[in-house]
Structure 1
Amino acid sequence: MKIITFSLQTQQPLLATSFQGDPNSDVSYSYIPGSMIRGAVIGRYIRHNNLSELDLENDEVKRLFFDANNTLYLNGYLQSNEGKRTLPVLRSWFKEKDAELSDESPMPVYDFGIHREHELESPKFIGEGFWTKGLRYVNFYKEKRRINIHNRRDRKQGRSTQIKRDSTTNQFKGEGEIFRYEAIDSGQTFQAVILSSSDDAQLLIDLLDKSQDIWLGGSQTAGYGHTKISNINSCESWDEVNISVDDRTHRDILTITLLSDLILRDKCGQYAIIPPSSKDKVPAPLTKEIEKILDAKLNPQISYASSTLVGGFNRKWGLPLPQVPALAAGSIFVFDSVSITSEQIKEIEAKGIGERRTEGFGRVAVNWLKNADFEVRLPKKISSDKPELKIDTSQTLAKQMADRLLHQKVEQTLQRYLGRTAIKGDISNSQLSRLQLVVRQALPTGDCELVLSLLNNLTGNANSQFEKAKIGDISLNRKLSEWLRNSNSWSWVSNKQDLTVTVANVERSINDEFAIQNKLAEKSTLRLIMALAKKAIKEDKK
């Protein structure tokens, strides 16, 4: 088996239409499907051999494009900064609901598919994306998208026309509807792989190498799909998950992870997306498929899975392919440990399972990961020179943009803190309203002393209520006084290093001279106090 790897860099937005979104929009997949890559290679093969169409009875055509035992076109996933092919995020990866991933600070993540020893208060799936393993962290990648709005046009007139009702036929005429494309943005690099026999590998390399320019996806005449091929390489051995199979034979559990969508049928011939379960009286189709390959009885433990709809477009017919349900990439299925050899792992990972394997479906990894917890971070951005703004108007505009973006970041941080913090204890709404009123008076000038004066001169009953009410384990009076006296310390912010903004050569942070002059810390603290009081009043009325 020969492995051909190559990079695809989008020069224009790329529309690989999925079944997401409403009827008036086309939403692209987050990757370049293997079927799309195969279609582009078929187009080059036809032109190279001066054919009008493929001869489906030709042995070479069968081997190159339709034989899953000979040639496989794998999905093109995002390429990492190190030039590696990323893989889909696992569905068993969870985080605390309020945990946020930022450029500077990593985020703790727990793999429930390996071991659920950590009881999270509010576990939440970390979200779809791609990843690679770094030296200390898992690097999380997310594709960039572009949304364009289009008007449907009349083919004869070359423009959109007004929609009118025909009085004789009572039918609407005109081509003026608005629709939306959400495509993969330009300027991104994906890495694709073709697995083929040694005899056919050179022909495929020659087809890829004929021209750097290739067009993929839909709406190619409307400014979509231009892509460049680069870094074409071939090798004899390759591991999709970059972990030797010899290190994966002896594990306490057996895990099957989907590296691409999986299409399976049950014994009645119906498409099946039922994940294996310990409660199954009849083994799920996936369980049967793995048992047949491993020649062993499997006992399911748990599954973390999702389903999706897959289809496609047949250019020969000019029609879409039937929609079929499939298990989504990133799904993971856990079974009791069984004896497994390195040869069995190589076989199942090389061939894949299920239907449409020539198009990249059915890629799996056996006993892939073994760490139950780790940290995820965003990849380091490739540095570029910041442009100097020579015109005063541009400099002023950049300052305004940076200031607004900084305020937006502070507001988002405040809202997150407010979501997990509340005033607890017996305090009357009248006292909270009084606090709100004084804070509102102090807010325009950022005068924290005005609110401190209120707290220091409370009467006996009011002071008792402010002492009994608490934020966390600290009395309300003490907590508010700490915030107001030390507002510039931003003690309620856990990620101070993230509250910075750069627009061109203009930088803004929460502790710079501009923020101090405008009393950003004082005003943000006052807004937090007012929001907490309002939240407490609202919850008391429920």
Structure 2
Amino acid sequence: MKQITMTIRTLSPVVLSAMSNATVMTASHSYFSGPIVRGILASRYIQQRELGVHAEEDEAFLSLFFDKLRFVAAYPLAADGTRAFVLPFSMQKSKDGRELLDLMQQEGRPGFKSMKGFGVAHGAELAPVNVRKTINLHMSRSDIKAHDGKERLAGRSMAGGIYNYEAVDAGQSFAGVIYGEDEDLQALCDGLGASKWFGYAGRSRFTQYGHCAVSLSDIEDIPQEPVETGNDTICLRLETPLIPDSNIADDAATALGSVAAALNERTQGGFSVELGPQKIVAKSEPVENFVGVWGMKRPRVQALAAGSVFCLKKDGGWTDADKAALQELLYAGIGSRTEEGFGQLRIWPVVEHTVAKAVAEAPASKPNAMHPTVCHHAEAIVRKHFIAQVQVWAAEDVQASKGYFPENSTHFFARLDALLGSSEKNAQSHLASAIGYELGNTSTPFAKGLQKVAVRDRKLKWYLTEANLSDMPYNQRDWQSLAEELQLEKAMRVIWGQSKLGNIQSSEALFYAYWHAFFRYGRKAAAGAGKGADVE
């Protein structure tokens, strides 16, 4: 058995619908489930092979996506690129976040609480991995009762209906894994046609949600799990939820007994799930998902949640054949719907876990930590301060350059402003191209004006057609003193953790703001507006 790692990077917010009791709130998971991973790949496969709406009639499609391959959930990537896992329910941390204990091997102590979410382990060090999410408010415009389309035409809800979407923020990466035999994985790659593409996932895709970049690794060997069997037992955790077979009872011990039963079928037997305190720590959760081609949800089923841990015992000691059978079962999965990535198992090392250094040294609550929404608005405020300042400098430069203005230059500046356009996107290249097209005849008043007007001892034509953004007149000012005087330097370090003054100075937004103001004030000055107060 081999594997392919599938990386998903969110390019827009993504709504991965989760169950919620709120009537006006659609909650979102913090990961891409196995069914979603399979759906992303199946959609691409169907498109590339032009299977249309009858993909179920294609034998190769059915074999790959419903039998031979395992499409395992995409969990978040840590800062170092390590794929996170669901933290075992047995893990607890002290309230100050400096100590960890594992209920599978240690007694619970006062002052400790359960850990939730995702984490990565490097040896005995364990670090949490967080997923950024945001709640967005929307107005309902469904016209369910009237069906007259007035709400959508108006762009608002007549009845004041609202709803909220919780979404995974853009700019985050997740990694899922596809397991299967070498030839089946190769057939999948051939059918997909490329190792990188853009796609959509989740709810409300194709609107403002769900845009993702997908990339696949080469076919790789599956990592060998270290089977350390002290006292003939081994601790296992559920990597993904385990959906018991229909004939298995709902209690955790009986459901996990299917793992021992599957191993007994593959070996000489002797496997069993240990019962008793500190032998099983598990939770149940409902599993449901929406199937687009059906236009409806699948029946809800109960599963043992990812993060459940238990002890597996082998009477008579472990043989190499036992270890090989366990290795195969870990990635093949156990229970129902294994092709969707359910029932994946991994070995959980029985060690004394410690908090990763970077986490232990950080205070429980960073005083400068800001919510992403706050950062977004704060960044906009900082940029507006700089834009306002370059507009002031543009007015000052117009006053200093008036002696170089050609006669009847009101039209000259109006023409430049029109060539600049109304968008700051690619403003520099757009203006340079427009001026180049305009300069068919170098003897025109427009061409002469570009050569006559000088700003800070350089010709206007040079600034607008040859200079770099770093050469602009506003970048000849003392930006550092300005940033410190207005405390913008401190604000940038709070928002981004570093000064981004250089990035802002070379932005198209400042280029557009400065020259739009310069042309506007230049037109006023040329017309003699204000008689001594040419710019306002």
TM-score (norm 1): 0.61
- Relative distance call for 1:252 and 1:200 in structure 2 (3 A) is closer
Residues 313-366 of structure 1: CA deviation (Å, up to 9, x unaligned): 111111111221211111111245543421121121121111111111111124
Q: Which amino acid aligns with 2:275?
A: P
Does the CA-based 8 Å contact 1:19-1:310 persist in structure 2? no
Deviations 1:39-92 (A, max 9, x none): 12222222222222234353312211111xx10111001112332221111110
Find 1:307's aligned residue among 271, 281, 284.
284
- What's the secondary structure of 1:66's corresponding residue? helix
Whole-Å separation in 2 of the counterparts to 1:234 and 1:395:
56
Q: Residue 399 and residue 20 in structure 1: after superposition, are their counterparts in 2 closer, same or farther (change >3 A)? A: farther
State the one-letter code of the partner of 2:494. T
Q: 1:184 & 1:33 partners in 2: Cα distance? A: 13
Q: Deviations over 1:95-154 (max 9, x none)?
A: 22x223xxxxxx2111111x115x52233102x222222367322201111111111113
Alignment counterpart, residue 109 of structure 1, candidates 79, 100, 103: 100
What is the aligned partner in structure 2 of residue 140 from structure 1?
128
Match of 1:99 in 2: 96
- In the alignment, is the contact (CA less than 8 A) between 2:235 and 2:311 conserved in 1? yes
Unaligned runs of 5+ in 2: 144-148, 363-378, 390-481, 500-536
SS state of the match for residue 190, structure 1?
strand
- Match runs of 1:274-289 below 5 Å: 274-276=251-253, 284-289=254-259
Q: CA RMSD in A?
A: 3.1
Shift of 1:231: 5.3
1:264 aligns with 2:281: no
Question: Structure 1 residue 130 and structure 2 residue 118: aligned?
Answer: yes
Corresponding residue to 2:213 among 219, 228, 233: 228
Partner of 2:303: 326
Equivalent position SS for 1:347: helix
Contact 1:20/1:27 (CA < 8 Å) preserved in 2?
yes
How far apart, in 2, do the equivalents of 1:204 and 1:179 lie?
39
Query: What residue number does 2:60 align with?
Result: 60
- Deviations for 1:237-260, whole angstroms, at most 9, x for unmatched residues? 212xxxx44543445533221001
- Separation in 2 of the partners of 1:399 and 1:21? 44
AA matched with 2:36: M
1:201 aligns to what SS in structure 2? helix
Closer, same or farther: CA 136–198 of 1 in aligned 2, 3 Å? closer
Q: Percent identity?
A: 24
Of 190, 204, 210, 2:188 maps to: 204
Query: How far off is 1:24 after superposition?
Result: 1.8
Within the candidate set 152, 167, 192, 1:183 is matched to 167
CA contact (8 A) 2:270 2:314 kept: no
Q: 1:371 and 2:351 equivalent?
A: yes
Task: Report the alpha carbon displacement of residue 273 of structure 1 after superposing the two structures with TM.
Answer: 4.0
In structure 2, do the counterparts of structure 1 residues 27 and 246 end up closer, same or farther at CA, with 3 Å as the change threshold? closer
1:7 deviation in Å? 1.4
SS in 1 for 2:326: helix
**Aligned mates of 1:330, 1:153 — CA distance in 2:** 40
2: CA distance, partners of 1:502 / 1:93: 33
Checking the alignment, whether the CA contact within 8 Å between 1:109 and 1:376 is kept in structure 2 is: no
Q: What code does the residue aligned with 1:369 have?
A: P
Q: Aligned-pair distance for 1:399?
A: 9.0
Aligned residues: 365
* Structure with a larger share of its residues in helix: 2
Structure 1 position 505, deviation (Å): 7.2
Matching residue of 2:177: 193
Is 1:356 equivalent to 2:326 in the alignment? no
CA deviations over 1:364-406 (Å, ceiling 9, x no partner): 124x21213422455799xxxx99986669975769979xxxx
Which letter does structure 2 place at the counterpart of 1:287? G
In the alignment, what sits opposite 2:73? 75
- Following the alignment from structure 1 to structure 2, what is the Cα–Cα distance between the partners of residues 288 and 192? 25
DSSP 3-state at the match of 1:223: coil
Is the Cα contact below 8 Å between 1:205 and 1:232 reproduced in 2? no
- Matched residue, 1:162: 158
Higher Rg: 2
SS of the aligned residue for 1:221 comes to: coil
Equivalence for 2:34: 34
Amino acid at match of 2:338: R
Q: Any conservation in 2 of the 1:138–1:377 contact (CA below 8 Å)? A: no
Q: Distance in 1 between the 2:135 and 2:69 partners?
A: 35
1:110, 1:307 → 2: CA distance? 22
The CA distance in 2 between the partners of 1:191 and 1:306, in whole Å, is 24
Structure 1: segments with no counterpart, 5+ residues: 101-106, 164-175, 277-283, 403-500, 508-542
User: Residue 296 of structure 1 is aligned with which of 252, 259, 270?
Assistant: 270
